[in-house]
Amino acid sequence: MTPPSTSPARAPFGARLAAAVKARGPLCVGIDPHPALLRAWDLPVTADGLARFTAVCLDALAPTVAVLKPQSAFYEQFGSAGIAVLERLLVGARQAGALVLLDAKRGDIGSTMQAYAAAYLADGSPLAADAVTVSPYLGFGSLQPAVDTALATGRGVFVLALTSNPEGPTVQHARAAGGRMVAQQIADEAAARNAGVRPLGSVGLVVGATVGRTGVDLSQVNGPLLAPGLGAQGATADDLRDVFGDALTAGPGSVLPTTSREVLGAGPSPLAMRDAALRQVDAIRAVMA
């Protein structure tokens, strides 16, 4: 299928991500305002506490890091007031020059998937981010409305492929018809949609930095590989070599490590958070050199 033409007002997500990483460094910081963290910052576990937390994160990180990754569920739990805070985050990050990857992990079929695409990827939506995480486990083809909308508007999708939760391998490492691992099929589907795109395709994968060597070939994906798990989840910058191999040196944005608690735990001081993020960038750059 020929992808729809990209919005003339916005470059493709893959190109924008490559430029952001080149300018600011290879790091995505997760914005995960879970109740324990709000309490650690002496904030109430309310929509007001959420708003104050988010404002500090924007001040500390949006002018500095390449990508912010708010976890949608932590905003949704406060209802419409929480969603309003998320909308303000999207606007504030955009104004400060950071890309936003909304961690929503949506996945459905038909008109429902089209509605998710309209919510998170369509021009004019108050929840439209630069990219969104999606789940392919109703079949990769079920994601086509999201892929089409993303490519038409210069946005991106990150498809779950190899996650770090212990239940993941039950599905992701299973063998499909023809003997290919399910995760390999997902990687191949992404690669097909990114074929020939330069400098980087806009259909990315989520591959946990803690999964080790899985036998899945990621070298031909030609799209960004989001690598959650650095820091509190146990992965180090050195673990990236085992998981991603040659993809680490494929160019800016090809592997995008992400961390949350290692940076947010330095708060609520904006300066301390910014310093923690910059230390992570230095450690990752050393591995990717």
Contacts of 178 (CB under 8 A, 6+ apart): none
The torsion angles phi and psi of 204, rounded to 5 degrees, stand at -100, 175
**Catalytic residue at 22?**
no
The neighbour count for residue 58, using CB atoms within 10 Å, is 21
Q: Where are the beta strands (DSSP E) in the chain?
A: 28-31, 67-70, 99-106, 131-134, 156-162, 203-207, 225-228, 255-259
- Helix extents (H) in the chain: 13-24, 35-40, 47-61, 72-76, 79-96, 110-121, 144-153, 168-172, 182-194, 239-244, 261-264, 270-288
Look up residue 152 and give its amino acid: A
- Single-letter amino acid code for the residue at 106: R
Residues 208 and 227: beta-carbon distance below 8 Å: yes
3-state secondary structure of 85: helix
Q: How far apart are CA 83 and CA 79, in angstroms?
A: 6
Per-state percent for the chain, helix, strand, coil, to nearest 5:
45, 15, 40
Which position among 22, 88, 105, 173 bears the catalytic label? 105
> Tokens in use for 90?
């999207």
| CA distance linking residue 245 with residue 218, whole number of Å | 9
Distance, CA of 26 to chain centre? 12
Q: Which residues are catalytic?
A: 105
